[in-house]
Amino acid sequence: MKKKKTFRFTTVYIIVMSLLLLLTNVILGVVLMARSVKSVTALVRRSMLNNVSTAAEIVNGDRLGSLTEKDVGGPVFEEVKEELSAFQNNIDIEYIYAVKQIDEDTFIFTVDADPEDPADFGEEVLVTDALRAAARGVPMVDESPAEDEWGNFYSAYCPVLDSKGEIVGIIGIDFDSKWFDEQVYGQTASIGIITLIAVLIGALIVSFMSRTLTSRFAPITQELSALSDDIDRLNQEIQSAGNNGEAGKSQNPDAREEPEVRDEIEEISYKVSQMHDVMRRTLEYMQAKANTDGLTGVGNRTAYIEMMEKYEAGIRDQSARFALIVFDVNDLKKINDSYGHNEGDRIIIDAAELLETVFGKGNVYRIGGDEFLGVLDQTDEAGMNAKLAELENAVRAYNEKTSEEEGELSIAAGGSCYRPGIDHSFQEVFVRADESMYQKKIEYHRSNGTVWRDPRGNGVTVEEEESGE
């Protein structure tokens, strides 16, 4: 009787545990699929924002702001159109165009780079929330596709600033809605298949456990081990593809130490937990990858835009208190010409490392080729100036260790603090910091007697001063 009672208890225990495992797999599958779709959607939207921000950077704001209907077909109009066309030819997008705001709910086309059926100057643009946000200075992507005479698209918009820091136009990029859906659901297919397999295996477990005893657990645990290995390999392949084979080899500090398995149930529980950990790390890796600059490892423009939106919200609710510092590496062209582009890349990488050392990891963003931005939260002007002085000392120490065969590092840095009640947007603080940086750059070239022209077109060069112009 005692043996029979133990047998029944074991059978019931196995069935209950199997049902719980199946339910856990179903819930885990639903949660992972939802997180996967959300993460990949965010990744695609960030890529779209990155593209439109880059396009807005290459357009000369002064030229774009000066365009009128009389300029259509003229040299200034064609220069802007050629800039947009060159970008479209190198990026997988449907349409790219420039827009101008007339009033709160009226926007018109100014330049359309479509070679076959361009919109006319002055033709009204379909207004969306993303377009209104860009008109306020915040780059944004449509939450849902919009349909017009050219098709069904998700559109991304980014403001264009002139040399005074004023918004003079908006660059719009259209992405076909089918392409967007393919990107989102195509990249989540692998995780979906794995989740489905996990649920099916859970169903098999219930079927097996209802008819067999613990001796039948061995084949199931082998299948789970194989599935766990497959998921781990998928994770390594994703990371290796993004880091040239290095990330997949890295050790995971959060990896669970495999327990000394006492029975088959504990082993199954461990394998399911292991699969969940790998899937979670994969999603976290994909999210981190979308926000990291590939060369330097600091935040990229996508991360910069997210940071800007956070401080914009703080400005609106009056909780913001921060300082911005804009950095630019001096004489990078000279270093590239004298020592080669590999040395130029090394200088950019070393500059990024120095900036992160001084201003903190996660507080530095690469916003251009040799241009960076640092943010100091809860900092006043005295704290900002102290950090700038610390940076000067760090650069000086770096150059003392530099050999004659290597380029010397010089960084022009200018900062500005947010002024509550005076500044109404993140952009106002950025423009002051950017102007301060350019003044430092002009002072650097004056003191060194080198010729340099302000790329914004409104700076005085050493060459001009010497010639009396």
Domain boundaries, the chain: 2-32+188-285, 41-183, 301-467
177 with 97: CB under 8 angstroms?
no
> What's the rounded Cα separation, in Å, for the pair 127 and 447?
50
Q: What is the CATH number of domain 301-467?
A: 3.30.70.270
Tell me the two tokens of residue 29.
């599958």
Backbone angles phi, psi at 7, to 5 degrees: -60, -45
> What's the rounded Cα separation, in Å, for the pair 139 and 171?
10
Confidence of residue 216 (pLDDT cuts 50, 70, 90): low
Q: What is the CATH number of domain 41-183?
A: 3.30.450.20
The answer to whether residue 248 scores a pLDDT higher than 50 is: no
Contacts 24+ apart (CB under 8 A), 452-457: 456/163, 457/62, 457/163
Tell me the two tokens of residue 143.
């939450």
Task: From residue 134, give the alpha-carbon distance in Å to each of 129, 131, 140, 172, 190.
Answer: 9, 5, 6, 9, 35
> What's the rounded Cα separation, in Å, for the pair 113 and 174?
12
pLDDT tens readout for residues 53-98: 888 888 888 889 899 989 988 999 998 898 888 888 877 778 899 9
> What's the rounded Cα separation, in Å, for the pair 42 and 90?
23
Cα Rg for the chain, rounded, in angstroms? Answer: 28
Predicted structure pTM score: 0.50
pLDDT tens readout for residues 90-146: 777 788 999 999 988 899 999 998 888 888 999 999 898 999 999 998 999 988 887
The answer to whether residue 2 scores a pLDDT higher than 60 is: no
pLDDT of residue 250: 44
